[in-house]
Amino acid sequence: MKNRAAVEIHSLSADEVTSLLESDLKRGLSPEDAARRLRQFGPNTLTAKPGKPSWLRFLLQFHQPLIYILIAAGVVTAVLQEWVDSGVIFGVVLVNGIIGFIQESKAEGALLALADTMVAEATVVRQGREKRIPSTGLVPGDLVLLRAGDKVPADIRLLQVRDLQVDESALTGESVPVEKISDPIARDTVLAERKNMTYASSMVTYGRGTGLVVATGDQTEVGRISRLISSARDLSTPLTRKITQFSTVLLYVILLLAAVTVAVGILRGQAPFDMFMAAVALAVGAIPEGLPAAVTITLAIGVSRMAKRRAIIRKLPAVETLGSTTVICSDKTGTLTENQMTVQAIVAGGVHYELSGTGYAPLGRIVRRDGGDDGEATALHECLLAGVLCNDSLLLEKDGNWLVQGDPTEGALLAAAAKGGFDEQETKKRYPRLDAVPFESLHQYMATLHDTGIGRPRIVYIKGAVEQVLAKCSAMLDDKGDSVPLDSEAIQQEVTNMAARGLRVLGFARKELDPETTEIQHRDIADAMVFIGLQGMIDPPRPEAVAAIRKCRAAGVKVKMITGDHPETAAAIAGQIGIFADSRDGPEREAVFTGRELETITDEQLIEVVEKTAVFARATPEHRFVWSGLCRPEAMWLP
């Protein structure tokens, strides 16, 4: 197989990719070729970093200057047959080592449990036949089929797509699923914008696609991140540095005092052996035997308290670093935000509504921004109803948590409707779906036809990109629910205002059809639609993150956001949670630094940018390591 390292797969055409990987777009690889490549490239798994054996981890508990002094003191007292003193010293050393070993073993076990996941399966075409195989058996050149609900098993160059959308938040920070394409894109396109690629660990949320595996195991983007983490050097903490300095000074002081004691005693005529014994007693008495145990127990208590707050700390001294932190570098999606799309604003009938609550939980209220009385609020009712009916997803409650089965955007619409009093199952039963026009990237909308009762008109609802929806409308609903002439400019201005807040905006419309209509085509909804309203959504900040950032700033700790998301979205979230020095006037675009800009500046300029900038967007894993590393003296990274 040809060398793939010198090319950017996303910039090649389908034929070039197929030729490079020596594969076949219809038949895939042969079993023999797949077996040969599996031997060549190895299984599609990440190479685990070799762990230290238990005996070595136990011995490393004694690898501290102060412990060396104690051990030396214990040996000397044992040679002098001071058994009680020797036993106490060695007992303190042993207890200190056992406590540290047990605590670190618990942390290691918790991390291994988190990493222990089931092996996924993948659908591949080999020798012209579809088959399901463990994802560990994938090799470069395999023809893989992707469907909604599949976990992407390797890095794949897409060659055929049909309305494919992939959730890449784990890799890029994008809260909204990315619509994929199959066409070649520019060679210098950043990772988060390579729409003709899917990467291992991402999830297919909608549609289907076919592509060729271009990287497996350690060669995937996730594997590259794993290697970066493994290559990170261990840094000493402020506590370990201070203890090392204290131990060194203490050792010199003890040796000096012992030497002075022996010298003075001999000069005064004392027996050298008696003075040596006195010097040893002085040295042993000067050593703080209880200090290592006290420090270890204190740190163990801190680690235990952090564990109760769902924070796993592998090394005991690391817990003390929290008290020395001056800069916190944090990811956005899932850390500062909920990683759940939430409708926050609705414009229906010219009236503005704000929604409380976050995530997919149907908890919260819908209130008018102007504080007026809704009355019937027919336009709002229709906008929420359209969000429920023109929807292929489900909201599910599992162990007290609300999850979306399907597209996160549609899940947000269902949660918003629930806040307005709609019951999803009852509403869909009351207005049964008769037909649908599924979402397609080409048309940028979805439409559904519903029965409203015997003898009554059938209604078709449409949702999608505002430009596409508006192009089909000739009227709109006013605040009373009456049909009035369409004001496209006013609607476009509302879209602009909502987008400035970082909201993703969807438009909704409806149309009445003949009672005998049983199916719909694109031509049936090409015109004469009535515009209903807009719903704007975003992955909202966690309330606890807002409070935490406020406390950090009060304590003099800087917080910096490093995300792979769009600069505009990152800026909007940063303004909401208080990362910018003053977010009341809204975040400025200039306050966001991107990964592409990083690659065009010098090291000296980078240091200045890192000092002044609070938000970094479109960041790759390498950028995160660079930025967080430059944020020292004491920086903490929250993934």
SS (H, E, C) 325-388: CCEEEECCCCCCECCCCEEEEEEECCEEEEECCCCCCCCCCEEECCCCCCCCCHHHHHHHHHHH
Which of residues 390 and 254 earns the better pLDDT score? 390
Q: What percentage of the chain exceeds 70 in pLDDT?
A: 84
Q: Where is average pLDDT lowest: 160-169, 450-459, 564-573? A: 564-573
User: Does residue 52 have a pLDDT over 80?
Assistant: no
* Residue indicated by tokens 């995937």: 220
* Residue indicated by tokens 């690629």: 197
pLDDT value for 293 = 64
Q: How far is 125 from 137, CA to CA, in rounded Å?
A: 13
* Residue indicated by tokens 């769009």: 566
pLDDT value for 219 = 87
pLDDT tens for 39-49 read 999 998 877 66
- Start-to-end Cα distance in the chain: 37
Residues 577, 580, 581, CA angle at the centre, nearest 5°? 120
Going by pLDDT thresholds of 50, 70 and 90, the confidence category of residue 98 is confident
Q: What percentage of the chain exceeds 90 in pLDDT?
A: 28
Q: Which of 85, 331, 407, 479 is catalytic?
A: 331
Query: What domains can you pick out in the chain, each with its CATH number?
Result: 9-44+138-229 (2.70.150.10), 54-114+235-321 (no CATH), 325-336+542-638 (3.40.50.1000), 342-538 (3.40.1110.10)
pLDDT tens for 275-290 read 877 777 677 667 676 6
Going by pLDDT thresholds of 50, 70 and 90, the confidence category of residue 583 is very low
pLDDT value for 342 = 92
User: Does residue 265 have a pLDDT over 90?
Assistant: no
pLDDT value for 45 = 84
pLDDT value for 637 = 43
pLDDT value for 218 = 83
pLDDT value for 246 = 79
Give me the half-sphere count of Cα atoms (radius 13 Å) on the Cβ side of residue 284: 24
- In 3D space, the residue among 562, 577, 550, 560 whose CA is nearest the CA of residue 612 turns out to be 560
User: Does residue 207 have a pLDDT over 70?
Assistant: yes
Q: What is the mean pLDDT of the chain?
A: 81
Asked if 139 and 41 count as a contact pair (C-beta separation under 8 A), the reply is yes
Give the tokens for residue 49. 């970093």
Average pLDDT for residues 400-426, to the nearest whole number? Answer: 90
Going by pLDDT thresholds of 50, 70 and 90, the confidence category of residue 580 is confident
pLDDT value for 442 = 74
Going by pLDDT thresholds of 50, 70 and 90, the confidence category of residue 192 is confident
Which of residues 76 and 445 earns the better pLDDT score? 445
| CA-based max dimension of the chain | 123
pLDDT value for 51 = 63
With 0-12 / 13-18 / 19 or more C-beta atoms within 10 angstroms meaning exposed / middle / buried, residue 329 is buried
Q: How far is 210 from 146, CA to CA, in rounded Å?
A: 6
Query: Is 188 an active-site residue?
Result: no
Average pLDDT for residues 115-133, to the nearest whole number? Answer: 78
Pick from 63-77, 178-192, 241-255, 418-432 the range whose average pLDDT is largest: 418-432
pLDDT tens for 319-373 read 777 777 788 888 887 788 887 889 999 999 889 999 998 888 888 999 988 776 6
Going by pLDDT thresholds of 50, 70 and 90, the confidence category of residue 588 is very low
